[in-house]
Structure 1
Amino acid sequence: MVLPINAESDGYRFYKTLNEDVQIKPVSPTSKHWDIQMENGDYVNVDGLESLRNAICIAIMTRFNELDFMGLYDGFGCRVHELVKKNKSEMVKYKIELFINEVLENMRRISIVNDVTVSESDIHSYLVEFNVTSISDETVTGSVTI
């Protein structure tokens, strides 16, 4: 199955180096649960900078080496999931920042990690905001609640 492509979009025409992906989004604006987006019974395709933002969220939300069984994704994912049961502290915030920085620095589509900010979202969650420069010299910002 091939995802539908909008060959006229700027992302497809000018940012092919950032690849394409299946779009994921939070289930609701305040939700920590994400899902694949469907339209007319088919996956929604994203390209360009939106694809990079999407790929970053997928990498952060995938447990480190979770996909290693396939043999193609050795070392893929984020170690932030090791901290799920930890009590909130400055050290946990620091480790979250380190683990996410490591993921971003290992992504081939990212040239520079400009900023990763971890703040407390609520009593049980952290809000992670990131700002990176892609290999096409465009800046991408986004956030994930952990």
Structure 2
Amino acid sequence: MLPADTESESYRFYKSLNEDILLKPNEFNEWDMQFENGDVVNVTGYESLQNAICIAIMTRFKELKNPLYADFGCRIHELIKANKSRMVEYKIELFITEVLTNMRRVKKINWIKVTDNPNNEFFKYLVEFSVTSIYDKIVEGEVNL
């Protein structure tokens, strides 16, 4: 079992938002587990929800072979070789909306913003989002694609 701060507010009051291993991107946008004192970092509560959203977006649709997760993942990977256009931006927003809608821990999607060429990086999109969790707390995050 991963070490967890059992005294934290997130752990004590927001357990149904689950626990997870903290993932963070590096400067090349490659996501990996985070380590602290030789062990993986565990996140709970709202941090876990933000982490789970990023995992769901970055997992290809139907990639997992576990029957419990038959429809898990995001179709955004279908757009990897698509030429940039307003339609691609719309599809990115649509696919992420679908992922967020299917998450039990998300009560409401407040907004999703897709930015083309963030920081003059011409082959990227930046996706920012805000959702309300099942505990009526707003959680915001972003994913570089």
Residue 55 of structure 2 is aligned to residue 58 of structure 1: yes
Residue 79 of structure 2 is aligned to residue 107 of structure 1: no
The equivalent residue for 1:137 is: 136
- Structure 1 segments (4+ residues) deviating >4 Å: none
TM superposition shift of 1:40: 2.1
What pairs up with 1:25-44 in 2 under 5 angstroms? 25-28=24-27, 31-44=28-41
TM superposition shift of 1:72: 2.1
CA contact (8 A) 1:17 1:136 kept: no
Identical-pair percentage: 61
Paired letter, 2:43:
V
TM superposition shift of 1:48: 0.7
Q: Structure 1: 5+ residue runs without aligned partners? A: none
The equivalent residue for 2:86 is: 90
Query: TM-score of the superposition, structure 2-length normalised?
Result: 0.95
Secondary structure (helix, strand or coil) at the match of 1:65 reads: coil
- Note the alpha carbon deviations across 1:58-102, whole angstroms, 9 max, x for none: 0000000000x1222110000000000111100000000000000
The equivalent residue for 1:124 is: 123
Q: How many residues in Structure 1 have an aligned counterpart in Structure 2?
A: 142
Cα distance in 1 for residues equivalent to 2:66 and 2:38: 27
Cα distance in 1 for residues equivalent to 2:102 and 2:122: 31
